[in-house]
């Protein structure tokens, strides 16, 4: 189990966050689940399947699972975290939900021995009822989700008349990098917004937005863990006595590293560094670029480079520094 998965599990053990996650991800913002109504359940959904005289173990462990009372007697909510795209995820979710129902069915068997003959085969009584199970998949990878979103997406092509009769199993997916949901919980709002800005390299926008806004320490730490951003994680460690973290300051070191990486990429692309000059400082390479550019009169090429950099989301200051063109 990776640090990212462990961090998310711990983060959403908080009932306020979990309730808002479910209300937003499953109920589109309707406040169905209340934090005080949540109760933790065993994450282990493993059981044995008996078939042809054999006892086959089926091991499945949920990431986070809660029980909630409300308009229904109670409802079961599960959350599954995904760092990478899982092309069989709808099937996996269906299995998790099925195992949860199967576990409840076995409770009927164990607690109710007296059944009519018509109830013997199912081992359930006519009036026995299951509790609804909902599973939300949280995908926090940087690449856009291009996997299946329902069981039907995993099927071979079917004619339209067959599709209408097919028993589909849609998957509820929350894609961190692209979601536009409005979360009421400020921790989740900050967590998702910062990750989206980091994934899209919008450092300046992040620093403007969080110039006067601090975020919770565990939120900042989880952001650093999810995005594998060592600069943010080191900043959080250095400010271990602070409950709230200044994300504007926390991202400055990362911005410097990111700026140097982008600058180096364009310098190498333009062939400014010669063989054996891999360690030539960007400042020296930029100076050489400007000098050679003035000698050769390559204004058009510099404009093309500036336009490419702009499309890549480079800042105005960086473009001017690399190309010598005042924007």
Count of residues in the chain: 327
Task: Determine the 3-state secondary structure of 201 from DSSP.
Answer: coil
User: Where does residue 324 fall: left (phi above 0), alpha (psi -120 to 50 degrees), or beta otherwise?
Assistant: left
Task: Determine the 3-state secondary structure of 50 from DSSP.
Answer: strand
pLDDT of 54 strictly over 60: no
Paired residues of 135 in beta bridges: 78
CB 43 within 8 A of CB 265: no
The reported pLDDT for the residue numbered 285 is: 56
Rg of the chain in Å (alpha carbons): 27
pLDDT tens string 218-252: 999 999 999 988 888 988 999 888 899 988 888 87
More confident residue, 183 or 248: 183
More confident residue, 266 or 102: 102
pLDDT tens string 275-289: 555 555 555 655 655
Token representation of residue 284: 């020296």
**How would you classify the pairing of strands 64-68 and 54-58?**
unpaired
* Phi then psi dihedrals of residue 65, to 5 deg: -145, 140
Question: What's the CA gap between 242 and 223, in Å, rounded?
Answer: 16
CB 229 within 8 A of CB 254: yes
pLDDT tens string 85-128: 999 999 999 999 988 888 888 777 766 556 666 666 667 777 88
Proportion of the chain above pLDDT 90, given as a percent: 40
Q: Domain boundaries in the chain?
A: 3-184, 189-296
pLDDT of 292 strictly over 70: no
Lowest mean pLDDT among 76-80, 82-86, 175-179, 294-298: 294-298
């Amino acid at each position: 189990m990776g640090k990212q998965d462990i961090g998310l599990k711990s983060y959403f053990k908080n009932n306020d966050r979990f309730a808002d996650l479910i209300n937003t991800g499953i109920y589109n913002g309707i406040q169905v689940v209340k934090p005080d109504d949540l109760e933790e359940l065993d994450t282990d959904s493993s059981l044995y399947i008996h078939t042809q005289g054999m006892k086959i173990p089926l091991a499945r462990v949920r990431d986070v699972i809660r029980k909630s009372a409300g308009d229904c007697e109670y409802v079961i909510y599960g959350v599954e975290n995904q760092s990478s795209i899982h092309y069989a995820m709808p099937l996996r979710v269906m299995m998790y939900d099925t195992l949860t129902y199967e576990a409840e069915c076995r409770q009927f068997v164990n607690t109710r021995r007296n059944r009519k003959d018509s109830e013997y085969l199912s081992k359930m009584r006519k009036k026995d009822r299951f509790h609804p199970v909902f599973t939300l998949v949280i995908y926090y990878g940087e690449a856009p989700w291009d996997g299946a979103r329902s069981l039907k997406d995993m099927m071979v092509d079917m004619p339209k008349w067959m599709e209408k009769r097919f028993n589909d199993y849609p998957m509820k997916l929350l894609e961190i990098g692209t979601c536009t949901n409005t979360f009421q919980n400020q921790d989740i709002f900050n967590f998702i917004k910062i990750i989206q800005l980091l994934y899209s390299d919008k450092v300046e926008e992040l620093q403007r937005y969080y110039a006067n806004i601090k975020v919770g320490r565990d939120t900042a730490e989880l952001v650093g863990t999810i995005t594998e951003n060592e600069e943010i994680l080191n900043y959080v460690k250095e400010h271990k006595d602070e409950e709230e973290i200044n994300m504007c300051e926390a991202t400055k070191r990362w911005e410097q590293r990111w700026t140097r990486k982008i600058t180096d990429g364009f310098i190498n692309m333009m062939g400014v560094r010669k063989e054996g000059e891999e360690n030539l400082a960007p400042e020296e390479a930029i100076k050489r670029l400007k000098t050679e550019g003035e000698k050769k009169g390559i204004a058009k090429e510099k404009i093309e480079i500036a336009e490419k950099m702009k499309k890549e989301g480079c800042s105005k200051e960086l473009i001017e520094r690399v190309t010598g063109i005042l924007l």
